[in-house]
Structure 1
């Protein structure tokens, strides 16, 4: 019996009947020999952590564009917080933590530079639109490893695709990540908004804080506990009162922070930067990396330009824009 066999034996004995068993995965697009030490979901988690797209998340905006300060969230820290919350819920419900973690770590790999402002800009440019959750699946199936993809299991790709509104994931573990994502972002966005001086804790209406709590820790505890207490046989959810308070908190944050003129003033520059880069690489596919040039030949220059711009970090997008469109100073030789 290998180490993997022993882990899978413990999964069958210890996990809930509706948990995803790694031994029963629907598999990968390209069959591979099994690892002796790790289950398929553990290998997926490791592949995500070691991939380039994951590392680039540290330089992608979460909410506040290019904030001055070391403690604002990035897309990477958001991802880690989602993973932590999702694993806590999965453990409490006796679901597969490894699958849950792999989905959580991969869920935003396809996010654009400049947060949702970048996503909206590409959505307006790309024929058929652009949605970051679909792009995340594209990253793991096509773009990573110079066009070979990560070849993750079906269950991880499905959880990533379904982590926002719309279709629910086929596994309970994937459905957990959808809730963990919501719980993480609403609370860390409050934290960042307070740090930025856009919001005060006491600005949150009392009808919300009386139900969810008056601090980040209290809110996290209330929301996570509600999911654990109200999830049965693979169906994941919150009780009605807590969910109502959460939705009111979303509405409040939408008005107070996400549409706040001061907090979002730099975002007005994003559509021009994204459009300029997209159109440039659309017209000059020969300037793309080699594997992106192959995508341009196989799937069209629009697809390649979109993939390349979507994968940029905030800093790289700004630097690329400056290099391509801002005149440089020059000096006569002496």
Structure 2
């Protein structure tokens, strides 16, 4: 028995009835020969992990724009925390951990530079709108691998595009949606404390009495509530869900709309707006993979593809190159 076949048998023997088995995937847009070592979902995980867009996440904003400290989250560390939380839940519920991990690692590949500020600006500029979860699917379908895409399985693609405001078809995809919100609310608190924006003691006692008064306790409370209700109907207990929503409102009021946190967002959005206008008017300067996309999907989509793929630093340097005059150099 080949290693892949053994893993597929192990899935059938050990995973719960609600798990998505790799041997029963709905497949890929372009069929490929099976790997003798890895299951289909393991191959997807590896394709995502080794792609360019995944590596660029380390230089993209999570909440704090291009933070100076080494310990603030980036989009990459957020993704890794989502993956860890999702895998913990998947293992406890006997769901497919490989599928869960693949979705988690790919869920934010389409995020823009400068976090949600960049996303809001591209959504405003693009006549077709722009949402990072849809862009993440575009990355794996059309942009990566020099425009050929990663040719992922249906289940991974479904989990990626539905991780924000829809429920995925698989329980594994639904787990990632929960893991995403659990991760970001707690690491954003951690980063906000580090930045001096708030203190743990500022969180209302009505919330901490239910969820706990530390990052690890809150994460444990939220995860445990989901696990305890089982895989058939994934949900939090009512009191835990209410506490989570209260915590999110607290963070929205004290951090996500805090002028100290958002002071530079306007500049970042103006910069993205200037880049967008320039590339729309000079579509020929786009790299070939995006220029080809312009003929296939339209100029607005191609420009969004290019800008969304930028890191914070690359966007700044592109802006400098195009709009900041250089000092005289004698040739």
Using the size of structure 2 for normalisation, the TM-score is: 0.99
Establish whether residue 2 from structure 1 lines up as the match of residue 2 from structure 2.
yes
User: What does residue range 1-334 of structure 1 map to in structure 2 within 5 Å?
Assistant: 1-165=1-165, 167-233=166-232, 235-332=233-330
Question: What is the CA–CA distance in structure 2 between the aligned matches of 1:245 and 1:231, rounded to whole Å?
Answer: 20
Q: Secondary structure at the match of 2:78?
A: helix
Question: What is the CA–CA distance in structure 1 between the aligned matches of 2:327 and 2:110, rounded to whole Å?
Answer: 35
Deviation readout 1:139-196 (Å, 9 max, x if unpaired): 000000110000000000000111012x210000000000000000000000000000
Shift of 1:58: 0.1
Using the size of structure 1 for normalisation, the TM-score is: 0.98
Question: What is the CA–CA distance in structure 2 between the aligned matches of 1:331 and 1:3, rounded to whole Å?
Answer: 62
Q: Name structure 2 gaps, 5 residues minimum.
A: none
Question: What is the CA–CA distance in structure 1 between the aligned matches of 2:199 and 2:132, rounded to whole Å?
Answer: 30
Tell me if structure 2 keeps the 8 A contact 1:110–1:136.
yes
Deviation readout 1:29-67 (Å, 9 max, x if unpaired): 110001000000000000000000000000000000011
Structure 1 runs of 4+ off > 4 angstroms?
none
Shift of 1:285: 1.4
Q: Secondary structure at the match of 1:145?
A: coil
Question: What is the CA–CA distance in structure 1 between the aligned matches of 2:69 and 2:244, rounded to whole Å?
Answer: 28
Q: Secondary structure at the match of 1:113?
A: coil
Tell me if structure 2 keeps the 8 A contact 1:231–1:238.
no
| RMSD across aligned positions (CA) | 0.8
Question: What is the CA–CA distance in structure 2 between the aligned matches of 1:15 and 1:332, rounded to whole Å?
Answer: 69
Shift of 1:263: 1.3
Shift of 1:332: 4.0
Shift of 1:249: 0.1
